[in-house]
Structure 1
Amino acid sequence: MNENTLGTAVAGQLSEQIAAYCDANAIPGFVAGVYHSGEQIVVAHGTANVTTGAAMGADTGFLFGSVTKVLTTTMVLQQVERGLLDLDAPVVKYLPDFALNVPGAADKILVRHLISHTNGIDADLYFPDAEGRDAVRRYVEGLATAGGTLFEPGEQVSYSNGGMIVAGRLLEVVTGLPFSELIDREIYQPVGMTDSSTSAEQAILRSTAIGHFPNPETMVAEPTRMFTLPQTWGPAGGTPIGTVADLLTFGRTHLAGGVSPSGTRVFSAESAALMQRVSGDMVSPNVPPMGLGWVRYPFGDTTVLAMSGASPGGVSILCVVPEFDLVFTAFGNTPGAVMLQDQLLQWLLREHLGVEIPTLITESAADFDLTPYAGTYRSDQLRIDISVVDGTLEERTAYEPADAAQGAIFTAFAGGVTAAPPQRYVPIRPGLFAPEGYPLELFDGYLRLLLVSFHDIRDGRATFRNGGGRLTRRV
């Protein structure tokens, strides 16, 4: 490893940016890693747990969150290679009892719809509280009453926790192993993710960070009251835990077409390529094209394969840039750390790799009719009321739990916040809006997800709202 190129220069720059941002924004701790063309660095800053004062170290573990979705998708492709799954087969071929609360809707969903976020399952905030070997099975069984539909399979793209959990259950059925054991056998061991696990009981045996939320009055970071989501959410990212070094190793395995750094063939080059290929595209700046597992973020002519992951009070990210043989991964232990992750990713692309990142949004739009977008939009336990106010769209978002148990889990996951303050959006062009008060250059990077788009105009009204890659449907 040449410490004079990646090691010294990039580590110093990342450390300076991380320390300055964390200190200015009350982020207790942050850890990041970069692999580039045979060289690798990890930098850490601050505190992993404000209660204990434990330092955030290069080897500190953290919850992967939805980064797990790429691991789950990789396992699906492994089973396709072995002939145990067919991407174009109906899910009910393998799960005959799979059902949603709309008769016949589940029968139309193919295996590939689950991992391409094109399945239409409306259960993104469904949190059944079950533990043990049958946890994922319990989730899928509950969809028969709790799982609705947003759209016909394959018609739209909407980020889907439910689809990925059903994919996890498929893996359990065709392999005979619970998800927690399967991910260890098929991913952690062959990839070389030596510090990864799937439970708090395992994580407690080593250094592990916890999440934090800013106190709304003092803005001081306070520890989360929930470490992980229930085990029912394992395949979507509820329970897997590991280190930056582990995620760098996983990312490198994808860079190498399925061969781990130790030389083990984990999955085929064809599967790696298939995961990177476009499988769905909403053709909107705020919704990057979807691969299988990966989201394909265009930064000019360079594609960044990425997935971020929220956990209770924390956020992770994994980015793979095949064109430049680079992997970037990071974790911060407050939700606001996503802003720093975007800053570091753009710095690596612009300054380290020389990528030209064009301006995504140059100016707000002239007047156009906003009435097609006003109305009430809903998805699982989420309500968004939109009205036209002073030439902007004003949104009021509220979580409406199905029952007390759902409410308790979501409230803990969100740090006690169940309703957002009103947010106004300025028009950029018909169907596309930006949150008021933000500089337009903020949306050039990963945070383009903060833009809101509207889709499928029928009878003068939008059918869908897309925010953060998730659809809600007009009611």
Structure 2
Amino acid sequence: MDNTALHTVEAQIRDQAAAYCESGKVPGYVAGVHHAGQQTVVAHGVANAATGAPMLDDTGFLFGSVTKVLTTTLVLRQVDRGLLDLDTPVVTYLPGFALDSPGAADKILVRHLISHTNGIDADLYFPDAKGRDALKTYVDGLASGCGTLFEPGEQLSYSNGGMIVAGRLLEVVTGLPFPDLLAREIYASVGMTHSSTSAEQAILRSTAVGHFLDPETMSARPTNMFTLPDTWGPAGGTPIGTVADLLAFGRTHLAGGVSPSGTRVLSAESTALMRQVSYDMGTPNTPPLGLGWVLYPFGDTTVLAMSGASPGGVSILCVVPEHDLVFAAYGNQPGAIMLHDQLLRWLLSEHLGVPIPRLVTEPERDVDLTPYVGTYRSNQLRVDVSVVDGQLEERTTYEPADGSQERIFTEFAGGMTSGPPQRYVPIRPGLFAPAGYPLETFDGYLRLLLVSYHDIRDGQARFRNAGGRLTRRA
């Protein structure tokens, strides 16, 4: 990429970030692009609305679920060393691993943990523990509080629990606490010089905090909870770093596992394995999954991606191998995912010249809605689906298991424990779009807003899929 193209990218990010921030949608935003040997990072707005601290090029932020790609890389490093085998049952390494369904954990292989095909029903399980035994506490608690959504390998459901079990597995086979392993084998090897594994480390440098929209003042207020508990570290609860650090990690995957400094972080074979399709649900709202990476198809171009929610913020990391490009960004309000999507689509279509085909065409009329009506559940989540005025209406309710988890989830969600009813229009049998959105909204990253239903038996759908997460008919 020549300097003229770099300046165009920089100007586009600056203009779009400024417009988005100044419209009041997000207090601060930072984004970076590495393409063909050139790199730029742009920041705008404030990192903390309470203090007025500016968002800077090197401001740190919570990675959120982008951490899952780092955790998967750590697992594959141990596979490269012969310490782990992807097709070995997890209980071989973690004999105490169990779920509340007898024998269910015994069927889960190591690869199921990092391909989101494990079926562990623990997506909103938030045990509050700190320190060296946090992940052990999490895994021990699964036996009495969490069951399964499906048989391992039978379906795909985005899995925080799978990644946390993988983190505990890493601790056992390496003898190192997960934060130490992450710092030593990813941060140090990749050259992520400004990344940390805890709030205590991050407070020593410029770090952004998340925000939520205050319904009374309609202004952004800082979150009351900076990070999720230590138990969520491997799924994205605690790691913190900068856009430049994420770009370095993305470049490592572009280069077949070799970091920008020349360090071999992962074998070429394992790096390639992470990009291969592990499971494909065959529905537009859930792209195929590799190991760690979500494989977004934009026509013939595949974008390796992962976004990451944190309390009041959202990050994203995208790698485009065919075009030698990495895009990373963070906004400190949940709605920043819209700006992530806008910039990714601009980079693909305008900067790289990648055609972005329509993912969803005109809605189909006369779709029978009765197979989808009912109540669907997963860990502490209930979704009631009915038909209203020829559309599906969903009412989602959080049902906390105890006071501690209610407190954590409520803070993570900015005070909400249930959402307003959402109407969906049928696109085709089994696929629905939220009412009121132009259909081109779903051509990019925001295809995750679509909802699908699967495995119809005796005239009733068995699973509902929203954002890649399954709920099962009650």
TM-score tier by shorter-chain length is: over 0.9
SS in structure 2 of the partner of residue 222 of structure 1 = strand
Distance between the aligned counterparts of 1:102 and 1:362, measured in 2?
Answer: 42
Q: Aligned letter for 1:196?
A: S
CA displacement 1:407-462 (0-9 Å, x = unmatched): 00000000000100000000000000000001100000000000000000000000
The one-letter amino acid of 1:80's match is V
User: TM-score when scaled to structure 2?
Assistant: 0.99
Any residues of structure 2 matched to 1:410-449 within 5 Å, and which?
Answer: 410-449=409-448
Partner of 1:342: 341
Q: Which residue identity does 1:78 align to in structure 2?
A: R
State the secondary structure of the residue aligned to 1:433. strand
Question: Does residue 157 of structure 1 match 2:156?
Answer: yes
CA contact (8 A) 2:120 2:159 kept: yes
What are the Cα deviations for residues 286-331 of structure 1, in whole angstroms up to 9, with x where unaligned?
0000000000000111000000000000000000000000000000
Q: Which runs of 5+ in 1 are unaligned?
A: none
Could you say which residue in structure 2 is the equivalent of 1:75?
74
Distance 2:17 2:443 in 1: 20
* AA in 2 matched with 1:5: A
1:253 aligns with 2:248: no
Please state whether the residue corresponding to 2:83 is helix, strand or coil: coil
Task: Give the 3-state SS of the residue equivalent to 1:357 in structure 2.
Answer: coil
Question: In the TM superposition, what whole-angstrom CA distance separates every residue of 1:255-308 from its partner, at most 9, and x where no partner exists?
Answer: 000000000111101010000000001100000000000000001110000000
Which shifted more, 213-222 or 77-86? Answer: 213-222
Deviations 1:123-178 (A, max 9, x none): 00000000001101110000001111000000000000000000000000000000
**Segment drifting more, 75-84 vs 21-30:** 21-30
SS at match of 2:168: helix
Q: Which residue of 1 aligns with 2:278?
A: 279
Letter in 2 for 1:34: V
Partner of 1:125: 124
SS at match of 1:320: strand
> What letter matches 1:237 in structure 2?
G
Residue 238 of structure 2 corresponds to residue 239 of structure 1? yes
Matched residues in 2 for 1:4 and 1:79: separation? 42
Question: Map of 1:66-145 to 2, 5 A cutoff?
Answer: 66-145=65-144
8 Å contact 2:313–2:331 — kept in the other structure? yes
The question of whether the paired residues in 1 share the 8 Å contact of 2:25 and 2:335 is answered with: no
- For 1:380, the aligned partner's letter is N
Provide the residue aligned with 1:3 in structure 2.
3
CA distance in 2, matches of 1:460, 1:354: 44
The CA distance in 1 between the partners of 2:220 and 2:339, in whole Å, is: 16
Q: Partner letter of residue 336 of structure 1?
A: G
Q: What is the match of residue 18 of structure 1?
A: 17
Q: Could you tell me how far apart the structure 1 residues matched to 2:120 and 2:147 are?
A: 6
1:8-32 deviations in whole A, cap 9, x for unaligned? 1110111001111221243100000
Q: Report the Cα distance in structure 2 between the residues aligned to 1:236 and 1:452, rounded to whole angstroms.
A: 23
Distance 2:222 2:201 in 1: 20
Equivalent residue letter for 1:283:
G
Q: Residue 2 of structure 1: CA displacement?
A: 4.2
Whole-Å Cα distance in 2 between the matches of residues 237 and 461 of structure 1? 35
> How many percent of aligned residue pairs carry the same amino acid?
78
- SS of corresponding position for 1:148: coil
CA distance, structure 1, for counterparts of residue 419 and residue 215 of structure 2: 12
Does 1:302 pair with 2:301?
Answer: yes
Distance in structure 2 (CA, Å) of the matches to 1:271 and 1:32: 28
CA contact (8 A) 2:24 2:219 kept: no
* 2:57 is the counterpart of 1:58: yes
Q: Are 1:26 and 1:219, in contact at CA under 8 Å, matched by a contact in 2?
A: no
Separation in 1, partners of 2:418, 2:242: 33
| Alignment-derived partner of residue 375 in structure 1 | 374
- Distance in 1 (CA, whole Å) between partners of 2:216 and 2:267 is 52
Q: SS in structure 2 opposite 1:121? A: coil
Cα offset, 1:219, TM superposition: 2.2
State the alpha-carbon separation in 2 of the partners of residues 240 and 406 from structure 1. Answer: 21
> Which secondary structure state, in structure 2, belongs to the residue aligned with residue 122 of structure 1?
coil
Map residues 142-221 of structure 1 onto 2, 5 A cutoff: 142-221=141-220
Cross-structure match for 2:407: 408
Using the alignment, how far apart are the partners of 1:26 and 1:371 within structure 2?
38
Q: How many residues align?
A: 474
CA distance in 2, matches of 1:207, 1:25: 22
Runs of 4+ in 1 over 4 A off after TM superposition: none
Distance in 1, Cα, partners of 2:146 & 2:56: 40
Contact 2:247-2:327 within 8 A present in 1 as well? yes
Distance 2:12 2:409 in 1: 37
Q: Which amino acid aligns with 1:398?
A: T
- TM-aligned CA deviation for residue 217 of structure 1: 3.1
Give the whole-Å Cα distance in 1 for the aligned partners of 2:65 and 2:218. Answer: 26
- Does the CA contact (< 8 Å) of 2:25 and 2:336 recur in 1? no
Distance across 2 between alignment mates of 1:296 and 1:26 = 28
Distance 1:25 1:437 in 2: 22
